[in-house]
Amino acid sequence: MLVVGGGIIGLVTAWRAAQRGFTTALVDPAPGGGAAQVAAGMLAAVTELHHGEQTLLGLNLASARRYPDFVAELTEATGADLGHRQCGTLTVALDADDRAHLRELHALQQRSGLESQWLSGRECRRLEPMLAPGVRGGLRVDGDHQIDPRRLAGALVTACERAGVAFHRTWAERLTVVRGRATGVVTADGTALPAGQVVLAAGSLSGRLAGVPEDVLPPVRPVKGQVLRLAMPERGAPPFLSRTVRAVVRGSHVYLVPRENGELVVGATSEELGWDTTVTAGGVYELLRDAHELVPGITELPLTETRAGLRPGSPDNAPLLGPSGLPGLLLATGHHRNGVLLTPVTGDVMAHVLTTGELPEEARPFSPRRFDAAALTEQPA
């Protein structure tokens, strides 16, 4: 089998397939790159819950539950430290509007059977003394953690290599289709790579592979996110921040993710600007302004990196997993805001589909066929 795309989703698919005994190849000019190089790596099934996304919540929770074992297995396979921190998350409110929004989120979390605890502003500051005095309240979620996505991507490349995945470090230019079945790809240097099954896992680029019939192309679009990296003071006591802190400020999500190695990741914008990955003064300004309202002390920190990446957005914000409408072509894409969180479950789901031809129960709602023209024109009863 052949995987098109060497981001974390393509890599985990290739790793799991090779472990199941498939002769596995992966085509990507720079495996381990992609959105994971920019992502903050929050494992935020509870704090990123949105109205209307209860089905996605089930998959997010399934993946969050797998994380400790997944990290242990990948660490065992590679010797890599993945920067997995079971540190919890605090979502705070800065004004009355934010607080009302957070109360709504809390009610939704409770209706969904999730664990989160309402805290006063004072209780929030007791947990995180660097928070602004104006913080009006917050939600403590001890089950939402973090991982370093760059380390995760690097470890998955190593794991794939050790499991025997053949890497083709070039672009897949075109899917080959013979008598209505995907049979492989042709790469940018003209090499034909035949395969019994092709998994398209090219992130935001997944809708652009030539040769894929129009009605099968996944409806995935790029959603730009600008992210900053700062350096926290050398191991202070107490630490600068001990858990992920996030908020919705004037309608925009901002989060600060403190890594064990002293890096503080601040994200993220969400912009529908096509393929643009420019870091803009406005984007950096807004992130710093909002993060400063939460944690004024960030202005003292060195700003070490600014970068923009492209989330693979889908029409319902949920991934597309499993067989497409073209025999031989499977999809693992459209993970939008949850690619890092969904990596373990995606690997397991894709291995199951490759082996059995069927999606496991937990992944059935995420079949790409839900976007087929016939499914979209079906009227509710």
Positions in the binding site for ligand GLY (CB under 6 A)? 42, 48, 225, 267-268, 311, 337
| Distance in Å, CB of 144 to ligand GLY, minimum | 11
Whether residue 269 contacts residue 302, with contact meaning beta carbons closer than 8 Å, is answered with no
From the list 36, 43, 48, the residue with the least C-alpha distance to 7 is: 36
Nearest CB to ligand GLY, comparing residues 24 and 47: 47
Give the residue carrying structure tokens 């901002």: 254
Nearest CB to ligand GLY, comparing residues 144 and 293: 144
Nearest CB to ligand GLY, comparing residues 14 and 345: 345
Nearest CB to ligand GLY, comparing residues 21 and 52: 52
By beta carbon distance, the residue nearest ligand GLY is 337
Nearest CB to ligand GLY, comparing residues 193 and 320: 320
82 phi, psi to nearest 5 deg: -90, 0
| Distance in Å, CB of 337 to ligand GLY, minimum | 4
Residue 15 to residue 8: CA distance in whole angstroms? 10
> β-strand 244-249 against 89-93: which pairing, if any?
parallel
Residue 104 has a CB neighbour count (10 Å cut-off) of: 11
Nearest CB to ligand GLY, comparing residues 38 and 160: 38
| Distance in Å, CB of 334 to ligand GLY, minimum | 13
| Distance in Å, CB of 254 to ligand GLY, minimum | 10
Amino acid at 214: E
- How would you class 36 by CB atoms within 10 Å of its CB: exposed for 0-12, middle for 13-18, buried for 19 or more? buried
| Distance in Å, CB of 306 to ligand GLY, minimum | 15
Length of the chain: 381
Q: Which residues pair with 270 in a beta bridge?
A: none
From the list 335, 148, 376, the residue with the least C-alpha distance to 223 is: 335
| Distance in Å, CB of 287 to ligand GLY, minimum | 11
Residue 68 to residue 145: CA distance in whole angstroms? 11
| Distance in Å, CB of 268 to ligand GLY, minimum | 4
Nearest CB to ligand GLY, comparing residues 26 and 152: 152
268's CB contacts (< 8 A; 6+ apart) are 40, 225, 226, 227, 253, 254, 255, 287
| Distance in Å, CB of 42 to ligand GLY, minimum | 6
Tokens matching residue 369: 């066929």
Nearest CB to ligand GLY, comparing residues 229 and 337: 337
Helix (H, G, I), strand (E, B) or coil at 93: strand
